[in-house]
Amino acid sequence: MRLRSSFGSRVRYAIKLSRQLLAEARAVGEIGRLVNQHPHLAGLEQRMLAYRGELAATRGSYTRDVSSDAMALSLQTAALVASLTELLKPARALDLGSGYSSFVTRSVGATECWSVDDSPEWLERTVGLLASRGLSTEHCLHWEEFEARSGERFDLVVHDLGDVRQGPAKHASQALRETAFPAVLDAVSPRGWLVIDDIHISGYRQRCRRLLEARGFSVFRLTRETIDSHGRYAWLAFREEE
């Protein structure tokens, strides 16, 4: 009888302990795991909060005068990109799907930034935006031109290429988000970082995840930190040494 009750209390203790551990793990969350593995990203969450304030005005005018709230990088993901640019100091940054994201990488100050678009019209608008803000318009190129120059590698890549709005027919720009993904992974340097926007789309998310794992990337699901009012969010991936 005593044996049974001592076994029961051990089971209850084990359950209580695992619940506590689970709660602690949830509290630390993905950003905690990210910073534990990459201590040079300490302060990322605080920088993201600060950038949400700092970027609100420029993003507001961009979505009002040039694009739209649903198409431009969300304020939350823009804050992630700005914070990573500041903390990682990438020598080369690549912004796939140009627009407000181009302003962010170039204004925070990656040493060399490339901005790529599959739409010549939107690329032209990006060049106009950068020029109007006194930023460099170097390395603004069409996706086909970029693809033709295989072998370019970047320390920070933002993948927001192609129009992911769901419609009755999947036009070329919608499909591009996913078809471009293997080439996007190729463009990330060893020990480089990739921000994958619009990963809330479930089929896309699952297929990206499988490919990321197969190609040896670690994934940090920054859902809580980047989710916006449209339900969009981004994940961060790190390419291990080859």
Residue number with CB closer to ligand SAM (39 or 120): 120
Q: What is the b/e burial string over 32-42, where b = at least 16 CB atoms within 10 angstroms of the residue's CB?
A: eebbeebeebe
146 forms part of the interface with ligand SAM (CB under 6 A): no
Choose which of 76, 85, 94, 100 interacts with ligand SAM (CB under 6 A): 100
In contact, 112 and 135? CB cutoff 8 Å = no
Shortest distance in whole angstroms from residue 182 CB to ligand SAM: 19
107 forms part of the interface with ligand SAM (CB under 6 A): no
Chain position whose Cβ is nearest to ligand SAM: 99
Choose which of 68, 150, 166, 202 interacts with ligand SAM (CB under 6 A): 68
Shortest distance in whole angstroms from residue 103 CB to ligand SAM: 8
Residue 127 CB-half CA count within 13 A: 14
233 forms part of the interface with ligand SAM (CB under 6 A): no
Provide CB contacts within 8 A for 144, sequence distance 6+: 118
160 forms part of the interface with ligand SAM (CB under 6 A): yes
Token pair 């993905």 is found at 30
Environment class of residue 147 by beta-carbon count within 10 Å: exposed (0-12), middle (13-18) or buried (19+)?
A: middle
> Using CA atoms, how far apart are residues 207 and 181, in angstroms rounded to an integer?
10
Shortest distance in whole angstroms from residue 163 CB to ligand SAM: 5
79 forms part of the interface with ligand SAM (CB under 6 A): no
